[in-house]
Structure 1
Amino acid sequence: METNIQFVKLPTNEPLEKFVQKKLDKLFKKYNWLIKADVFYKQIKDPKGKGKICDIQLSHPGPRIFATSNEESFEKAADETIKDLKTQLKKLKSEMNPHL
């Protein structure tokens, strides 16, 4: 599986890349029909104290799956985004027709 991690207007953070890669590897093992993941980290000014955004887009046969979250840290944002993706993947898997 291919994973592209981009930091939008931010310096590259290797520990954060490894963190999200480890989480995505678990998804790729569970859902072997996933093709690619695009991860985008962004930071915005948020008066509520949040502002760390993680967007993840998954490619698979069919329409792409997308989730985003805005949290106090990039790790929390990645966790929440992957949690949302897991929910979408479970629903998608239940709707898929098995090939006979």
Structure 2
Amino acid sequence: MNITIKTLGFNAKPDLKDFAHDKAGKLSRFYDEIIECEVSFSIDKSSTKENKVCDIKLSIPGNDLLATAQCKTFEEATAQCVDALQRQIEKRKTKLMTH
């Protein structure tokens, strides 16, 4: 699985990139047919403290899976996206088993 990390409008620290790479890499344990994982970080221009946005797109055979989260920190947003994608993967696997 290829993992691509993009930052829009700022330069990310290596710690953030390593954290995102580790979290996204764990998704391959749930579904082994993942082709590519694209993680995008951006900062929302709102006045609240919850302005860190993380988007994760999984390229898999069939339809791609997408999750977005907006939190106080990029790490928290990444964790929420990964949890959402795990639920989407489990739902997809149960659909495939019933067919």
Shift in Å, 1:50: 0.7
Q: How does 1:3-82 map to 2 (within 5 A)?
A: 3-82=3-82
The count of corresponding residues between Structure 1 and Structure 2 is 98
Counterpart-to-counterpart distance in 2, 1:18 and 1:97: 34
Percent identity reads: 29
Taking structure 1 as the reference length, what is the TM-score of the superposition? 0.91
Counterpart-to-counterpart distance in 2, 1:90 and 1:30: 8
Counterpart-to-counterpart distance in 1, 2:8 and 2:60: 24
Which residue identity lines up with residue 9 of structure 1 in the other structure? Answer: G
Taking structure 2 as the reference length, what is the TM-score of the superposition? 0.92
Instruction: Provide the alpha-carbon RMSD of the alignment.
Output: 1.3
Shift in Å, 1:48: 2.8
Unaligned runs of 5+ in 2: none
Runs of 4+ off more than 4 Å: none
